[in-house]
Amino acid sequence: MKHPVLIANRGEIAIRIAKTCRALGFPTVGVYSEADRFSEHLRYCDRSYFVGAAPPQESYLNVERVLAAAKASGARFVHPGYGFLSERPHFVEACQKEGLIFVGPSAESMRLMGDKIQARSTVDRLKVPRVPGSPGAVQSAAEAKRFASEIGYPILLKAAAGGGGKGMRRVDAEADLASAFEGATREALGAFGDGSMYVEKLILEPHHVEIQVFGDGKGGVIHLGERECSIQRRHQKVWEESPSPILNQYPKTRKAMQDAAVKIAQHVHYAGAGTFEFIVDAFGNFYFLEMNTRLQVEHPVTEWVTGVDLVAWQLLLAEGNWTLPPIPEVQGSAIEVRLYAEDPITFLPAPGALGKIHLPSGAFVRTDSAFTGPGEVSVHYDPMISKISVWAPTRIEAVARLRAALDEACVQPPLKADGTVQGSLRTNLSFLKRLVRNEDVIQGNTTTDLIPKHPELTRPSADPISLEAALAASLTQILRQNQDFTPTETVPERTWTTVTRREGLRR
Amino acid sequence: MSGLKSQVGPFKFQWKTVPHANEGVAEVEVEPGKTISVAWRKDAQGICLLLPNGSFGFDLQGEPDDEGRMLYHLTQRGTSHEWNSVLPIVGDVKAQGTREGSQNKALRVRAQMPGKILRVMVESGQDIVKDQPILVMEAMKMENEIRAIQSGKVGQIKVAVGQTVETGADLILIQN
């Protein structure tokens, strides 16, 4: 009899974790906020507990309420997923105090590696190269200016407590530093409650490559290959793949990075899944960036090429009496893209009501999503709609498979009876379809500045209209003007409206 | 009336039978001397067509422009094809006017998402160039710089610093 696992998360990652729990026979406990009463992830959990209002601080980030749910449910394990409480050492300690097993690293190794400034001194001691920068957090623009003139422009200002591009600014010249510092600090304060910054040199033509490791907590660590996540917008990943195209050119760099990652993880007696992020330049030099002490969003890429269920390993390790398997062989090529509710041109978040969703399927196509039909991409949380990943024996075949998969996908906001859009949902699907057709992407020339280098990726399509499309538009307009058609399906309303009505009918 | 005219971009159609209802078949002249049969079925998100050269599905989203004409965003299902601002003109083409009429109107810069105005960097009456930052808005915990979508003169500023706005709210008007 397995002990229950509380999944302290929501959305696609809660579903992904629950699926493995169920496959392994662990009972599952879900948590939900007010905004998630009808969310898909609850249907993957045996029982669910309400943890508070929609804002994360009130619910998914509220340690007391999440732990109360765990205690009430009789859960033995707490899986944090990614984001939310996944990288908070005080949460790990709070779990221990309650007699719960946190599925992840110890609070101590989380502190050592999760804090960027602490991690850098650990990494320096182990002689792993990293990007030149300020040794500690800087508190003022003047201090930042001093370091910047030492290492030379362009530089990057990064929030010490940050992640996901929040509190980050590129500065090309001294004149811009003061205002960039002010903006980044304010953003970091708002997002993480900590405005300290560090300064580092900006590497030009960089590739973002990360090494997946898995440790047994007793000093045993293996790597599971790499993921290249160079293609980013707004400093957030949108395309991730393994193996890395740049490391295919520099196999020695790959080996050195794997050795470095394993060495650091061994040093901190790392337990569970962790990721070391590196910058690799055009010449195969690599620099340590940071460690993520959790399961990554893009972990399916590693699962495709290694055949390992990373969540299963995490759970089995947490349960005890588990031996670290040998290093799995990397086979074939896998690519993941992130389908977001965002404007395909400005990449600004555009959440809202969802009218129709069809995600691709088929041979070697995987989708990780929390949406199956009409619903709502909440403004309160990350606006990711789905991860779409594919595997193929070679990279070129994987790109082709992804192209076909993306063409199959469809996400639309609901329409009112008059055919106009209801709500504000937009998606980056059209951008992803252009991205997968980009020559540099197909060739594997994946640098972090790929998107700004190709303005055609973020330009609305200006294809001449086809005869078929013209007929479709004409017909739709004629039928609309005649007003003699009724919508074939009722327009989805906001969930609460429907529910209240249903409740009213029941009485 | 026998038949109906419609036009989309370079295509001029002469409908021999006027389409009505959610499902049906119509004969349409797609170019002089070439008449085809079009079968259609409307659904909640768009329309499916069966044409002599195959079956096609489209998602259509309508958005009325300032003059109340419906512009469509079309996505061809299962492909990468999409078209923006498609204006189908039905009936007498001249009576519908042309798109140039809207060129001299003020352009609205609208909020793309709910958020809070942190800074307004322009003043009413100021000349601005395309892509010039005009205000900073906090949304989804990020500071987002809103830039001018075209060059012109700043008209009315509809928001104040500290104000919370909803999606679609007018922020600033830009005059040509």
**Residue A474: DSSP 8-state:** H
Phi and psi based region of residue A470 (left: phi greater than 0; alpha: psi -120 to 50; beta: remaining): alpha
User: A474 to chain B, minimum CA–CA distance in Å?
Assistant: 5
A134-141 average pLDDT score? 86
pLDDT attached to residue B11: 96
Tokens coding A390: 């594919």
The overall average pLDDT reported for chain B is 85
Domain interval for residue A155:
132-201
| pLDDT band, residue B1 (cuts 50/70/90) | very low
Is residue A250 located within the same domain as residue A360? no
Q: Do B143 and A379 touch (CB under 8 A)?
A: no
From the centroid of its chain, how far is CA A238?
A: 9
pTM for the full predicted model: 0.81
Torsion of CA A240, A104, A235, A32, to 10 degrees: 100
Q: Which site among A182, A420, A478 would you substitute to test the B interface, given the most B Cβ atoms closer than 10 Å to its Cβ?
A: A478
Q: Do A475 and B40 touch (CB under 8 A)?
A: yes
CATH number of the domain at A431, please: 3.30.470.20
3-class DSSP assignment, residue A137: coil
3-class DSSP assignment, residue A23: helix
Q: Taking a C-beta distance cutoff of 8 angstroms, is the pair A467, B11 a contact?
A: yes
| Domain end residue (candidates: A278, A296, A331) | A331
Taking only the tens place, the pLDDT of each residue in A50-59 is 999 999 999 9
Q: Taking a C-beta distance cutoff of 8 angstroms, is the pair A460, A383 a contact?
A: no
Q: Using CB atoms, pick whichever of B10, B82, B144 lies closest to residue A430.
A: B82
A51 found inside a domain: yes
Cα–Cα nearest to A264, from A330, A213, A225: A213
Angle between helices A116-125 and A107-114 (to 10 degrees): 90
Task: Identify all chain A residues contacting B149, using CB atoms and an 8 Å cutoff.
Answer: none
Nearest CA in chain B to A416: B44
Taking only the tens place, the pLDDT of each residue in A113-126 is 988 778 888 899 99
Strand-pair partners of A333: A392
Q: Which site among B49, B143, B149, B165 would you substitute to test the A interface, given the most A Cβ atoms closer than 10 Å to its Cβ?
A: B143
Q: Do A475 and B19 touch (CB under 8 A)?
A: yes
Residue B103, number of CB atoms within 10 A of its CB: 9
Residues A328 and B80: their CA atoms lie apart, in Å, by 37
Is residue A309 located within the same domain as residue A359? no
Q: Which of A12-16, A80-84, A207-211, B41-45 has the lowest mean pLDDT?
A: B41-45
Domains delineated in chain B: 4-97 (no CATH), 107-175 (2.40.50.100)
A112 found inside a domain: no
3-class DSSP assignment, residue A358: strand
Residues A291 and A262: their CA atoms lie apart, in Å, by 12
Q: Using CB atoms, pick whichever of B74, B112, B168 lies closest to residue A469.
A: B74
Q: Do B30 and A467 touch (CB under 8 A)?
A: yes
A202-231 average pLDDT score? 95
Residues A27 and A425: their CA atoms lie apart, in Å, by 35
| pLDDT band, residue B138 (cuts 50/70/90) | confident
Q: Do B20 and A479 touch (CB under 8 A)?
A: yes
A270-290 average pLDDT score? 94
Q: Taking a C-beta distance cutoff of 8 angstroms, is the pair A204, A224 a contact?
A: no
Contacts of A493 (CB under 8 A, 6+ apart): none
Q: Do B11 and A349 touch (CB under 8 A)?
A: no
Task: Identify all chain B residues contacting A384, using CB atoms and an 8 Å cutoff.
Answer: none
Nearest CA in chain B to A190: B141
Q: Taking a C-beta distance cutoff of 8 angstroms, is the pair A30, A44 a contact?
A: yes
Residues B27 and A507: their CA atoms lie apart, in Å, by 52
pLDDT attached to residue A84: 96
Known catalytic membership, residue A294: yes
User: A200 to chain B, minimum CA–CA distance in Å?
Assistant: 21
Q: Using CB atoms, pick whichever of A183, A420, A489 lies closest to residue B63.
A: A420
Q: When comparing pLDDT for B150 and A305, which is higher?
A: A305
A441 found inside a domain: yes
Q: Taking a C-beta distance cutoff of 8 angstroms, is the pair A272, A314 a contact?
A: yes
Q: Which of A44-48, A233-237, A467-471, B112-116 has the lowest mean pLDDT?
A: B112-116
| Domain end residue (candidates: A201, A229, A247) | A201
- DSSP structure string for B15-39: ESS---SSEEEEEEEEETTEEEEEE
Phi and psi based region of residue B87 (left: phi greater than 0; alpha: psi -120 to 50; beta: remaining): beta
